[in-house]
Amino acid sequence: MDADHCYLEGNADAVEFCPHEPHANLLAASTYTLQEGDLPSRSGSVYLFDVEHSRLNLLHKVDTTGVFDIRWSRGGGGSLALAQADADGCLRVYKVDDSEDKGYCLREVAGEKISSSMCLYLDWDQSSTSIVVGLSDGSASVVSFTDSNLETVQEWKGHDFEVWTASFDLNNPSLVYTGSDDCKFSCWDIRDNPGDNRVFQNSKAHTMGVCCVSPSPSEPYSVFTGSYDETLRVWDTRSVSRPVNEVSVSLGGGVWRIKHHPSVRGVVLAACMHNGFAVVKVGGGKGEVMESYSKHESLAYGADWYKGKDQKRSLVATCSFYDKLLRLWKPETAFEI
């Protein structure tokens, strides 16, 4: 069921609901627009919305360079922060200010050029003191964040082409997963030199580039991957050096993002590029599409679940690229919470 929609000023590529109470009504969205010509440029913006009563109310907009990814901090005792990975090779962190005269707004507290390549993806660790970034030259970086300081502590080249995704293991902060355009799904031990401490690398399962790696928050040895080959895969990592591909679900479009339902085990929201969005249920060694959503006219890139306490009726935000469209909608599927 559609709740609301709006058009952004640039090509929409990422959306993220705030995971922290009492700020669960905050929704961030970002854009990336390539201006071609003799001197090509990449511009973008980060938007902050209030979604109370399932309506999109714009609170603040920050103009910046082209943004590939945004991610809210996980908590860990620190204050609320939103990180941005951008086309200039910069990692930026915003804090959310709330004042009586201006209301909610984003304030940049840290920014660091960490690479001459583009920053494509980012993920916070559980303590929100480190950020892993996937880079367009095949490298990944781990950056520490303390107060208002960003510092690269590890960088290694683990892939031949773009690292579209890089994620911390949710239970072991020493492990980082990466996925790349070289079709490889890898895991690294970052305690020393990650380039010399590859835990595993699977180069056979994905027939096209790996777009996203998403560890399950409810199953400690379950990791989901999405690929341009239009398949969502679920991996059992109990044998950490040889993960087992347990489940494969064909979604009819490149699986760009996978987001786990905040309270329903085994349910994920997938952004499927040329085939809209899908709600998928995985369990018992099989997976099935519960619901598809095709109200977007362009590449399905950004997707996320509302994470507030009131989840009797799930709320979803999705965005699509060239039509610059951001939508709020409620899945028709009834979930047992």
Question: How much is the average pLDDT of 88-99?
Answer: 94
Which DSSP letter does residue 79 get?
P
Structure token pair of residue 159: 């892939």
CA–CA separation, 241 and 134 (whole Å): 22
Domain boundaries in the chain?
68-299
**What is the pTM (predicted TM-score) of this model?**
0.95
179: which residues sit within 8 A by CB, 6+ positions away? 163, 164, 165, 166, 185, 186, 206, 209, 210, 211, 212, 213, 225, 227
Closest CA to 256 of 202, 216, 214: 214
For the chain, the first-to-last Cα distance in angstroms comes to: 19
- Which DSSP string corresponds to 28-61? EEEE-EEE-SSS-EEEEEEEEEE-GGG--EEEEE
pLDDT bin (cut points 50, 70, 90) of residue 313 is low
What is the mean predicted confidence (pLDDT) over 205-231?
Answer: 96
Per-residue confidence (pLDDT) for residue 273, from 0 to 100: 98
Task: Report the range of poorest mean pLDDT among 33-37, 93-97, 100-104, 270-274.
Answer: 100-104
| pLDDT mean across residues, the chain | 94
What is the pLDDT at residue 337? 57
**Band (101; pLDDT cuts 50, 70, 90):** confident
| Span of 5-19, 151-165, 230-244 with lowest mean pLDDT | 230-244
DSSP codes joined into one string, 131-154: EEEEETTSEEEEEEEETTEEEEEE
Where does 68-299 sit in CATH, by number? 2.130.10.10
Per residue in 283-298, pLDDT (tens digit) is 988 999 999 999 999 9
The three-state secondary structure class of 195 is: helix
**Amino acid, single-letter form, for residue 331:** P
Burial track 246-281 (b if 16+ CB lie within 10 A, e otherwise): ebebebebbbbbbbbbbbbebbbbbbbbebbbbbbb
- State the pLDDT at residue 336: 66
pLDDT digits over 25-71, tens only? 999 999 999 988 888 899 999 999 999 999 999 999 999 999 999 99
